[in-house]
Structure 1
C-alpha cells in the first residue's frame, strides 16, 4: 500500500494497535516505516553517578541518519495520514535548529512532497549561514520562513495562526497542505511513543526499570510514554523535564492531546498530564542557550562514555536528572533509571564557535600530536 507521488523508499501498511491501547479515541489506520527500529537499551556509566542508582539509556538518537532522533517515530504515523489524505505539501515549524523541521523536510522530499518550515530565531537577519539541521532542511529543498522568537509559552497559539494563514495561501494556489504541529505533538503523533513504549516492554521495561526520564519540548514524546504507561498499569514513574516552555503551560497543550485521545478515568473524568508524570522545568539561560558549565558537562559525558548529548534538550534533561539524584532522590520510584536519548546531534553544528571558544571545552579543537608517515 502506498500513495507516494513518485518512487517511494518507505513501506506503508495497515496498523494494528496494542490490545491495551485499542480503547483510545484516535487510532491511526496506517503506518509508514521510516525509523530503524528497535533502538537499543544499555547501561550508561556516567561520571559522578550517585551511589545506589543504576542508569540506563534508550538510544533513540540511533533511529536513522538524516532521520535520527525521536521525531521520526511520530512522523511514521503523521506522514502515513498525509498520504492517506492525498496531501502534496506539509507545513510545520520550530526553532532555527529544529530537529523536527529537519526530519519533516527530509521525509517530505523522500515521499515526493513539498515542505514549508516556519522557524523562529532571536536574530531576524535572513542571511544566516546554514549549519546543522538548517543545512539539511535546505539541502532537501524545504521552503524556510523566519519569524522572531517571542514568548515560548505562547508558541502553540502563534504558530496556529501562522499555519492557518500559510495553509490558506497554499490552497488558493491549488496545493493540498497538511499542517504538522510543533514537534509533531498531536494525537496521531503521540502514537509514535505509544509504540515506542510497547517496544520497550519487549526489551524488558517492566522487569528492569523503575523510572523513565524524558525531555519535554512540545510534549509529544512524553505524552505517548505517559499514556502507554497508564494503559499498562502505571508500573513506572515518568519524569518529564520541560525545556523552553514552562511545564505548567506546556501541560495545558498536552492535556488537549489527552482529551482528544479520549484517555479517561474509569469514572469518566478526563486524565490530566500531571496525573501521568512528574513535571519539572530546566530552562537554564533560555531555549537553545548554553552555559560554560553545561558545555563542560557535555564534554565530560561524551569523553567518558562515548554518548553525545544535544545542548538544547538531552543535556539539560541529563543535568536536571543528576541534580535530582543528588538532592531529591526520594522523587524517584526506585533506583533503576531509564533515560530517553531523543537525539538532536545535528543541532551541535550550530555550536561550532561556542565550543571552540569555550575555556571549558577547548579540547574539542586540540590536536594531540602529529604522526609521521
Structure 2
C-alpha cells in the first residue's frame, strides 16, 4: 500500500463507485449478479479509463509536461477521456486516430468538444496509431514542448495502478456487503484494466477469479499482455506476481468495434431489467458471455460484473469505425 500511496496521482474519480445488486437480472439468469458501476467514475460521462488516468496524469504533471499525446480509434472511450482529463489538468491533448476523418458522433464528437488536436494515420490498421503517437511526440519535443506520450488504452504498468487501487476499493465494499463473489467479470480490450485487477486480486488474495472476455484481440495475445502488464505493475508497487490469467473467447462478433447480435441482446436485457446501459463494443459483449455461462449452468454466483462505461458509443452508429 505504501508504494501505491507514494505515486503521484490526480484525483479524478469522484469517490468510490457503487457496488450494487442486480436482482432482476439475477432472477432472469439464475445466478446472483452484482454490478461494480465504473460507468459512474465522474469524469465526463464516466468509464473505467479514468482510474488509470489518475496516475498517468499525476506522473505527467510531476514531470512538468505541457501536453498529453495518445491515440486509438475515432470512437475510443480512452482517447476521449484522456483528452478531457488532460484539459482538466491544464495539459494540451493530442489524439492520433487510425483511418480517415469521419463524421463527428459519439466519442469523436466529445473529443472534438475538448479542443484536442486530432490527427489521422490514413490507415485502417489499428497498429498504425502506435508509431504515429511516437512520431507526434518527437515532433512536439522538437518544437519545444514537453509531451507525455501514452500508448493506446493507457495500457502501461503505471496505468494499471488505477485498478490495483480499485481492487482495494472493491474489497472494502465486498466486506461491507458480506459478499464473497466467485468471479469478477469484465470486457478485455487493451488489457490494462484486467491486468490491474489481476495484480490487485493476487495481492489481496481475493475469493474471486478475474474473468476477462476478449473484445479486441486473440485470447493468447490477451493472456500474454495481461501477464506482462500485471507483472509490471506488481514490480512497480512491490507486490507478488499473479500466476493465473483467465480470458474467454468467442464473443468478438463481426469484429472489434462492431456490435454483435449477442451483445445487442445483452444490452436490451440489462437495460430492461436493471436500467443500466452497456456499450456495444465492450460491456455488451462481456455481458453476452456472462449470460451464456449462466444459462448453461457453467458458473455459480455471486458474480460481480464491471460496468466499464462507454455509453457515448451507443450514439455512434453501427458502422462508425472504433
Tell me the TM-score normalized by structure 1.
0.77
Partner of residue 135, structure 2: 165
1:219 CA displacement: 0.8
Q: Pick from 200, 223, 226 the counterpart of residue 228 of structure 1.
A: 200
Asked if 1 retains the 8 angstrom alpha-carbon contact of 2:38 and 2:306, the reply is yes
Per-residue CA deviation, residues 108-137 of structure 1 (Å, 9 max, x unaligned), is 11222211111124xx2x2x2211211111
Q: Pick from 134, 140, 144 the counterpart of residue 108 of structure 2.
A: 134
How far apart, CA to CA, are the structure 1 residues paired with 2:268 and 2:26?
11
- Greater Rg by CA: 1
Asked if 1 retains the 8 angstrom alpha-carbon contact of 2:97 and 2:129, the reply is no
How far apart, CA to CA, are the structure 1 residues paired with 2:223 and 2:244?
11
Partner of residue 143, structure 1: 117
1:260 CA displacement: 2.6
Q: Pick from 168, 172, 184 the counterpart of residue 198 of structure 1.
A: 168
Per-residue CA deviation, residues 179-211 of structure 1 (Å, 9 max, x unaligned), is 122111111111111111101111125941221
* CA separation of 1:168 and 1:28: change in aligned 2, threshold 3 A: farther
How far apart, CA to CA, are the structure 1 residues paired with 2:159 and 2:85?
15
Q: Pick from 256, 269, 286 the counterpart of residue 287 of structure 1.
A: 256
Structure 2 matches for 1:42-61, cutoff 5 A? Answer: 42-44=20-22, 45-46=24-25, 49-51=28-30, 53-61=31-39
* CA separation of 1:47 and 1:199: change in aligned 2, threshold 3 A: closer
Partner of residue 282, structure 2: 313
Asked if 2 retains the 8 angstrom alpha-carbon contact of 1:238 and 1:276, the reply is no
Asked if 2 retains the 8 angstrom alpha-carbon contact of 1:28 and 1:188, the reply is no
1:70 CA displacement: 0.4
Q: Pick from 290, 310, 316 the counterpart of residue 344 of structure 1.
A: 310
1:249 paired to 2:227: no
How far apart, CA to CA, are the structure 1 residues paired with 2:43 and 2:50?
11
Partner of residue 298, structure 1: 267
Structure 2 matches for 1:88-127, cutoff 5 A? Answer: 88-121=66-99, 124=100, 126=101
* CA separation of 1:340 and 1:293: change in aligned 2, threshold 3 A: closer
Question: Secondary structure of 1:338's partner?
Answer: strand
Question: Secondary structure of 2:9's partner?
Answer: strand
Asked if 1 retains the 8 angstrom alpha-carbon contact of 2:260 and 2:280, the reply is no
Question: Secondary structure of 2:36's partner?
Answer: strand
Asked if 1 retains the 8 angstrom alpha-carbon contact of 2:187 and 2:214, the reply is yes
How far apart, CA to CA, are the structure 1 residues paired with 2:131 and 2:5?
27
Partner of residue 188, structure 1: 158
Partner of residue 187, structure 2: 215
1:223 CA displacement: 0.7
Q: Which runs of 5+ in 1 are unaligned?
A: 1-17, 355-373
How far apart, CA to CA, are the structure 1 residues paired with 2:266 and 2:160?
31
Partner of residue 369, structure 1: none
* CA separation of 1:310 and 1:87: change in aligned 2, threshold 3 A: same
1:289 CA displacement: 1.0
Asked if 2 retains the 8 angstrom alpha-carbon contact of 1:49 and 1:322, the reply is no
How far apart, CA to CA, are the structure 1 residues paired with 2:188 and 2:244?
14
Tell me the TM-score normalized by structure 2.
0.89
Q: Which runs of 5+ in 2 are unaligned?
A: none
